[in-house]
Each structure stands twice: as C-alpha cells, then as structure tokens.
Amino acid sequence: MARYNAPFEIHVHGQVALRADVTFDHLQDALKPLWKYAGAKSLSAAAGSYYEDEPGIQFDAKDRLLQMCWTVEGDDDFRQALDEMCMNLNDVALSGAAIEVTFYDTEFDDEDEEASSDAESRDDFVMLFVGPDPASIMQVQRDLLVQDVVNLMERHFDGAELGGVVAAIDSLFSQRFDDLVNSLQLGKPPRGSGGSGMGHGGGRKPRHLH
C-alpha cells in the first residue's frame, strides 16, 4: 500500500538461518509486523520490494534461510515494527544474524544541500541483531566488530600484528556476557552501556541490490 508523503524509503537487508522445523507459516507469523506495516494481508502479498530490481523477502526452504533485500515507504514508527520483528525472529533463528536497516530521507535532495548550508538529511542506519540466545547474538556482534576494526587497522599495520587487538575485543565481549549471565541470576540489568538489539550510525548508505 502506497504511503503518500512518506518521509522515508526504508531498506531492510539481511540473511537469517532458520531452524529445521520452521515452515513458511512460522515465518509469516514472525514477519507479520513488516507485512502489516506495508498494508498487506499476507507475507506473500508484501514480499515484493518497492523497487522491482530488489529480490524482496524470500524464504529458501531448501537451505532454511530467510533473505531480505526489501524496501518499503514509511515513517519513524517503522522502528516499532522492527523491534517486534526481531523478537519474533529470535524464536525461529538457528544462529545469530545481523540485519541492516537504512532510512532514506525522501524529502532531502543533494542539490538542495549544496544550495543551503542549513539543509540536513534525516538519513539513518540501524544494525539489528537476532538469534536464539544472547550468546549467539553477541557472537555475531563480535565478528562484525573484529572485521571492522581489522579492516581499519590493516591500513597501518600488518594483519599478523593485530592479534592483541582481537584478543582485547574478545575479552570485552566475554566480560559483557559474564555480566549478562550474572544479571539474569541476580535479577539486575547488566553493567555497561550498549544493548544487544541495535546500533545507530550516520551517513547515507548505498542500497544493496543482491
């Protein structure tokens, strides 16, 4: 369903490995927040993307994969649908996975930005994490962070020199996991800032087409 004057084109991109017992009906229930937001009556009706050259939402029954390269028009209230989707996917995911969500400001024009120093895009980039348990979510967070840090530091150091950096990252995540376990046992929130659900970043991100 078209949303007139929608301030954002929202692109959802990711791949989630699913448990062997997950059926299309299970997945349809898990993704209900997305297809309901799109104004559809089923996952099949909403699976096609706003852009025809994007694969949309696909269920690979053979390899047990959910693949998403899907754009929908919407507003900031889409974030609530994302929160509900992540909670649902936790119940069907086989392992930890990252899902990228990009909000493209449809009211912002690069030429306008050049013409006026006051112009500012409302683009936003959100990284979501899902998984069957906190350990699997932290594992994929750790892997992505190591990849980013190593890619950055390899501009200045040989990869073989970065073992200590990777070990330090592992130590931080081990401590966070221990804090989480202790908090669950004591009924208190874990120490330290930062959640396992999502992270934010600025800047316009390229749209994925695969």
10-68 pLDDT, tens digit each: 999 999 999 999 999 999 999 999 999 999 999 999 999 999 999 999 999 999 999 99
What count of Cα atoms within 13 Å lies in the side-chain half-sphere of residue 29? Answer: 8
Q: Average pLDDT of the chain?
A: 83
State the helix-helix crossing angle for 163-186 and 134-153, rounded to 10 degrees.
160
pTM to 2 decimals? 0.76
Averaged pLDDT for residues 154-173: 84
Distance (Å, rounded) from C-alpha 3 to C-alpha 122?
Answer: 18
Cβ 15 vs Cβ 59: under 8 Å: no
Ordered by start, the domain boundaries in the chain are: 8-132+196-201, 137-186
pLDDT digits (tens, 9 = 90+) for 63-87: 999 999 999 999 999 999 999 999 9
Which range, of 16-20, 142-146, 191-195, averages the lowest pLDDT? 191-195
pLDDT at 52: 94
Query: Quick one: which H or E segment has residue 30?
Result: helix 24-30
Query: What are the CA-CA distances from residue 106 to residues 4, 28, 48, 96 (Å)?
Result: 11, 29, 20, 32
Look at residue 205 and tell me whether its pLDDT is greater than 60. no
Say whether pLDDT at 192 is over 50: no
Strands 65-74 and 124-130, sheet pairing: unpaired
Mean pLDDT of 140-161: 86
Contact assessment for residue 49 and residue 101, using Cβ atoms and an 8 Å cutoff? no
Mean per-residue pLDDT, 196-210 = 45
Check if the beta carbon of residue 115 is closer than 8 Å to that of residue 148: no
CB 127 within 8 A of CB 202: no
Please answer whether residues 129 and 40 qualify as being in contact, where contact means their C-beta atoms are separated by less than 8 angstroms.
Answer: no
Q: Return the C-alpha torsion angle 166, 171, 173, 179, nearest 10.
A: 180
The helix/strand/coil state of 118 is: coil
As given in the structure block, the two tokens for residue 109 are: 């024009």
